[in-house]
Amino acid sequence: MHLIGEEIQRDYDKLPECKNAKEVLEKVVVVKLNGGLGTTMGCKGPKSLIPVRDDETFLDFAIKQHMATNEKHNSAVPLFLLDSFRTEETISEVLKSRNIDPNLVRQFVQSRCPRIDAETLLPVPENHDDCLEEGWYPPGHGNVLRSMYYSGILDELIAQGRFVCFISNIDNTGANLDARIAKFMLNSEAEYVMEVTPKTEADIKGGTLIEINDRIMHLEMPQVPEGHVDEFCSLQTFKIFNTNNIWVDLRAVKRRLQEIKMEIIVNKKVMSNGRRVIQLETSIGGAIRNFEKVFGVNVARHRFLPVKRTQDLLAIKSNLYDVTPEHVLRLQVPKAPFIALSSHYNAVHDFDERFPTIPDLRNITKLVVSGDVHFGENVVLRGEVEISGDGEISNRVCEGKIAF
């Protein structure tokens, strides 16, 4: 195993400017990964329907960003949502209720796979109609390429001359369509490009790129042997990580589809009845090993702004970020502060109850909240702030309180 060489790395700032964006974008399609639920944040429905700013959801941001790009360049790049069987119906209803043009935003559904009993190694469902609630799972975003093929979308887009495909997570509000990278895909004849960014302490578990037997591969935390975890997490050894903003040439996908191999991620789960099960998943980052001409493009941090926990949600809801005319969230301070919230904020509804209005965070460098603390209106926080609400009785930060 080796670290990747300089020959496959590119600095975004050194890529050629795109002065013919309209022409370039005629060859582009965008796919947003939209199959996840908001269960880790206490939500039952699609994660993309969690409000981000002023009642606008991740889905709203994705659509408005896309419309802004098309308007800016007088283009008609289509937007596809990769839903799972768990999100498709709800998202379809939302799109209809908001009168979203079905020619602009289209849905397709990824595969549905049976969970495997951890003891017998047999499928949990006995037939395709069995155990609909807990017996099935979406097999990860590595399934996107085959789902495009089986749905007919792959051939449809290639026939239209739209073979440069930009794929990203819908909860990453920084992942807007970039014509400059699209042009690089065309000029370099790359088959696969992964956007990477410098690793920080907050990203030590993020996937990275390595070289094995002259092939570029994606290495994720679950694949690392126990004795090498510290090395994997080291900022000195692996200095970049995968943003999961991926660009692929759909023509190369079609040529290689039958031979595509993915690293299998074994995800162990427990059903509500206590039955231990296994899910076999793949990631789109893992697809890089199947392509010949691949690159890692080092992008600015603002293209990686995912929301995994409510502390991430607090940051992007606050005045640490502004919304640009392109409907992109941009950090307004030199460095994002460290924010940690207690388990009392894990669920979105608990978060909203404790933050009826979002405090002024523009001048903080650190915020740690332990215990159960309710914030009032007009709260301004500055510097390194640690607030403790330990004990059974919830605590309240008074309106207008300034903490240093």
CA nearest neighbour of 195 among 263, 295, 307? 295
Cα 169 from Cα 35, distance rounded (Å): 9
Domain assignment of residue 232, yes or no: yes
DSSP assignment, residue 302? Answer: G
Residue 267 lies in domain? 2-303
Same domain, 323 and 287: no
pLDDT string in tens for the chain (404-residue length): 677 778 899 999 999 999 999 999 999 999 999 999 998 899 989 999 999 998 999 999 999 999 999 999 999 999 999 999 999 999 999 999 999 988 889 999 999 999 999 999 999 998 888 887 899 999 999 999 999 999 999 999 999 999 999 999 999 999 999 999 999 999 999 999 999 999 887 777 778 888 888 888 887 777 776 776 777 666 667 788 899 999 999 999 999 999 998 888 899 999 999 999 999 999 999 999 999 999 999 999 999 999 999 999 999 999 999 999 999 999 999 999 999 999 999 999 999 999 999 999 999 999 999 989 999 888 999 999 998 877 655 677 766 666 55
Burial readout 62-96 (b: 16 or more C-beta within 10 A, e: otherwise): bbbbbbbbbeebebebbbbbbbbebbbebbeebbe
Residue 280 CB contacts under 8 Å (≥ 6 apart), including other chains: 113, 116, 139, 264, 265, 266, 267
Residue 308 designated active-site:
yes
Q: Please tell me the total count of domains within the chain.
A: 2
Same domain, 66 and 165: yes
Same domain, 204 and 321: no
Break the chain down into helix, strand, coil percent, rounded to 5.
30, 30, 40
Domain assignment of residue 125, yes or no: yes
N- to C-terminal Cα distance for the chain? Answer: 47
CA 281, 310, 82, 206 torsion-angle sign: negative
For the domain that residue 381 is a member of, what is the CATH number? 2.160.10.10
Same domain, 246 and 362: no
Same domain, 264 and 134: yes
The last residue of one of the domains, among 282, 303, 324, is 303
Same domain, 65 and 103: yes
Cα 6 from Cα 16, distance rounded (Å): 18
The last residue of one of the domains, among 276, 303, 330, is 303
Among 293, 308, 317, 366, the one annotated catalytic: 308
For the domain that residue 263 is a member of, what is the CATH number? 3.90.550.10
DSSP three-state, residue 376? coil
CA nearest neighbour of 244 among 140, 168, 328, 139? 168
Same domain, 156 and 278: yes
Residue 235 CB contacts under 8 Å (≥ 6 apart), including other chains: 199, 200, 201, 204
Tokens 């749905």 sit at which residue?
151
Which pairing describes strands 116-117 and 276-281: parallel, antiparallel, or unpaired?
A: antiparallel
Contact indicator for 176, 142 with CB cutoff of 8 Å: no
Cα 235 from Cα 192, distance rounded (Å): 25
Task: Give me 153's structure tokens.
Answer: 């979308």
Tokens 């493009």 sit at which residue?
297
How many residues belong to the chain?
Answer: 404
Which pairing describes strands 164-169 and 208-212: parallel, antiparallel, or unpaired?
A: unpaired
Domain assignment of residue 399, yes or no: no
